[in-house]
Amino acid sequence: MARKTTSKKSGKTAGGSRTGKSAKAGSASAPADGSANAAVPAALRTFSARRWVRRAMLILLFVIALPFLLTLLYAVPAIHPPSTIMLGRWVTLQGVERQWTDLANMGRNVPQSVLSSEDGQFCMHDGIDWAALNDVIGDALDGEKTRGASTITMQLTKNLFLWPGRSYVRKALEIPLAVYVDLVLTKKRIMEIYLNIAEWDEGVFGAEAAAQHYFGRPAAKLNARQAALLAATLPNPKERNPAKPSRAQRNVASVVERRARKSGAYVKCLFE
């Protein structure tokens, strides 16, 4: 009898021991299951963050590539590109006045005057007038007031792809883009696009619209004086009126007119 009692007690003790082990094992495994459950949302968050980073990188690459792709498209004569300012006015439901005119139908006076006023080395450089740019950089380093060194190609690049206003960031983007634009587009095409997107008054874009706006005639019908006055307006078109020029504007126009008259080989790339 004593042996049986001992056996029962032993059985109870063994069972109790097994139950205790199971409980311990269960309690030991509980934190592991909780950690696994917590790791799943963390992994999802990491995956989601990486996905958004990839999307942001793709968008950035697209924005960087867009000017280069559009330049190839703009080489096609049938394409009439808008400027970023024109796009902004369309988006904000403001008026845009422009009449696209091919360079061949614009006459000689306007292109010749604009070249003489804005960029006398247009036919010779590769999009950048490096000598003038170096002079500007030297003046800036010496603490002197800098003058403009933008070529027509650089101004076209800014108008097509960048934002208005002066900044070193914009200029740093403008220079390589201008070299690329000069490489892809002909000089005639660069001048043609520029003369059709330059702003001559609030909402007035292009030489044809400007000629009609100020002188009531087509750009091809402007005489040398009127074309020079129009060209002299470009640096600050919202404060200058070629139809009612100030004395300073008339003086600038006289200089432009003399340069245009003597331009000769400097404008051959536009008319040969």
User: What backbone torsions phi and psi does residue 97 show, to the nearest 5 degrees?
Assistant: -110, 115
Asked if the model's pLDDT at residue 105 lies above 50, the reply is yes
Contact 242, 233 (CB under 8 A): yes
**172-177: long-range contacts at Cβ-Cβ below 8 A with a sequence spacing of 24 or more?**
174/150, 175/128, 175/133, 177/67
Domains of the chain with bracketed CATH: 75-271 (1.10.3810.10)
Q: Which of 131-135, 207-211, 231-235 has the highest mean pLDDT?
A: 207-211
pLDDT tens figures, 44-68: 677 677 888 888 888 888 888 999 9
Asked if the model's pLDDT at residue 9 lies above 60, the reply is no
Q: Measured between alpha carbons, how far is 212 from 182 in angstroms, rounded to an integer?
A: 30
- Please report how the helices 152-161 and 109-118 are oriented relative to each other, as an axis angle in degrees rounded to 10: 100
Q: Which amino acid is at 169?
A: V
Asked if the model's pLDDT at residue 103 lies above 70, the reply is yes
Percent of the chain exceeding pLDDT 70 equals 78
**Amino acid 144: pLDDT:** 53
Q: Report the chain's terminal Cα–Cα distance, integer Å.
A: 128
For the chain, give the mean pLDDT. Answer: 83
Contact 269, 123 (CB under 8 A): yes
pLDDT tens figures, 227-248: 999 999 997 888 899 999 999 9
User: Do the bridges between strand 204-205 and strand 199-201 make them parallel or antiparallel, or are there none, so unpaired?
Assistant: antiparallel
Contact 107, 222 (CB under 8 A): yes
Handedness of CA 208, 213, 217, 221 (dihedral sign): negative
pLDDT tens figures, 140-187: 555 555 456 789 999 999 999 998 877 788 888 999 999 999 999 999
User: What backbone torsions phi and psi does residue 201 show, to the nearest 5 degrees?
Assistant: -170, 175
> Which residues, 6 or more positions from 73, have their beta carbon under 8 angstroms from its beta carbon?
79
Q: Which amino acid is at 195?
A: L
Q: Which of 161-175, 206-220, 252-266 has the highest mean pLDDT?
A: 206-220
